[in-house]
A = this chain, B = another copy of it.
Amino acid sequence: MNAVTIKDVAQAAGVSSATASRVLSGHPSTSAASREKVEAVARELGFVPNAQARSLRSTKTDTIALLISDVRNPYFSVLAHAIEQSAHEAGLMTFIGNANEDSAQQDQFLAAMLSRRVDGLIVVPQGLDQAAQRPSEMMSRIVASGTPMVFVDRTLRGIEIPSLTASSAHALEAAIAALTSLGHRRIAFIGGPDHASTARERHLAFDAALAANGLPSDPALHFAGDFKAGSGAQGARWLLAHPAAPTAVVIADAPMAIGALTVWREAGLKISRDLSVITFDEVDAMLMHDPPIATISHDLTLMGRAAVAALQAVMAGQNPERREFSSHFTQRESLGPAAASPGAMMEGMPTHE
């Protein structure tokens, strides 16, 4: 392995390890002579400082950890990329971990990170402890220990932590307005799992947008998914069999939308003519669809940058305020006029067994 230590460098350069250390970590009190010699020798020997030892002494690691739900969800992979790039610019290394929407895995990752003494944590919290309906013990412990932490995307009930979240109100109002002006009255919602605050927020904002447009909110038009493609497909079948035959639908994330659109394509539905569709999350695949799907999106790059900035503020002892990021509605051809006669969309469609 790489057994070359700072002592080896110092010896080869004919100086003490203290001087070598000063040169290698850019301390001002060094002579040009020793600087040159040490640097040359270090390069030649291929010296790689041992970050373990360094941070054991200096108690900082220049490393942060990012916990997300699932890298495979484009929403999170884009967010993760933004955070990593932003942290990188600030001289911070980022460790990314997956929780798979599971609070046990979340806690395991957090424990590992704590034991590695990362300087801070950016967390997409994974919901409440199922049994007790309260934040997990690990989460409470981190808060108690005072480790710098910020939440991004989601929040946790009962935990006061600086957080960067997305508000869907603005875009949803525009989206529902667009639908109602096209004559839609029965608008379904395929939502996320209730333990995720984003799922609750999107659902509440949906209902509020209905109200703002003079429509009642109807629990029978709500399908509870889990943010994954499979549940989107289930939601699509649920909608096809729905007695009220909704003429439009809003889907709470991209994987579910892709699952749903696949089912509707198989069923021979023509989006826009038979069903108007709006989905959360702007992913390229939505532009590939025929017709392209209208989206509600957030600026994840902005949110990611803000998360890093907020974490740095916390690390500096400040208390950054919560920030909510607005959403944007992009109208596309997936919106069409509501079908003239209720149930028209079911014409000529294969029956479901």
Contact = CB atoms under 8 A, between A and B. Distances in A.
Interface of A: 1-2, 46, 48-53, 55-56, 59, 61, 63, 70-72, 74, 77-78, 80-81, 84, 93, 95-98, 111-112, 114-117, 141, 144-147, 229, 255, 258-259, 261-262, 265, 283-285, 287-290, 292
Given A77-B72, A258-B284, A284-B258, A56 B48 contact: no
Contacts of A115: 48-51
A1 B145 contact: yes
Question: Could you say how many copies of this chain the assembly holds?
Answer: 2
Nearest to A70: B81
A98 B81 contact: yes
Given A81-B70, A112-B93, A50 B56 contact: yes
Given A258-B285, A261-B288, A262-B288, A147 B2 contact: yes
6 contacts: A52-B53, A52-B61, A53-B56, A258-B288, A262-B287, A288-B289
Contact of A71 (B81, B117, B147, B258): B81
Given A77-B72, A81-B72, A147-B2, A117 B262 contact: no
Most buried by B among A81, A114, A290: A290
A149 to B, nearest CB: 12
Contacts of A46: 141, 144-145
A249 B318 CA distance: 56
Contact of A145 (B2, B146, B265): B2
A17 B336 CA distance: 72
Contacts of A116: 51-52, 63
Most buried by B among A63, A70, A258: A258
B146 A1 contact: yes
The 10 closest A-B pairs by CB, nearest first: A285-B285, A51-B115, A2-B145, A71-B77, A96-B96, A261-B288, A51-B116, A262-B288, A52-B56, A52-B52
Contact of A1 (B78, B147, B255): B147
A185 to B, nearest CB: 27
Contacts of A265: 288-290, 292
A261 B292 CA distance: 11
A289 B262 CA distance: 7
A258 B290 CA distance: 12
A71 B265 CA distance: 29
Contacts of A59: 1
Contacts of A2: 114, 145, 147
Contacts of A81: 70-72, 98
Nearest to A4: B145
Most buried by B among A78, A95, A141: A95
A56 B145 CA distance: 24
Contacts of A53: 52, 56
Contact of A72 (B48, B74, B117, B141): B74
Nearest to A53: B56
A262 to B, nearest CB: 5
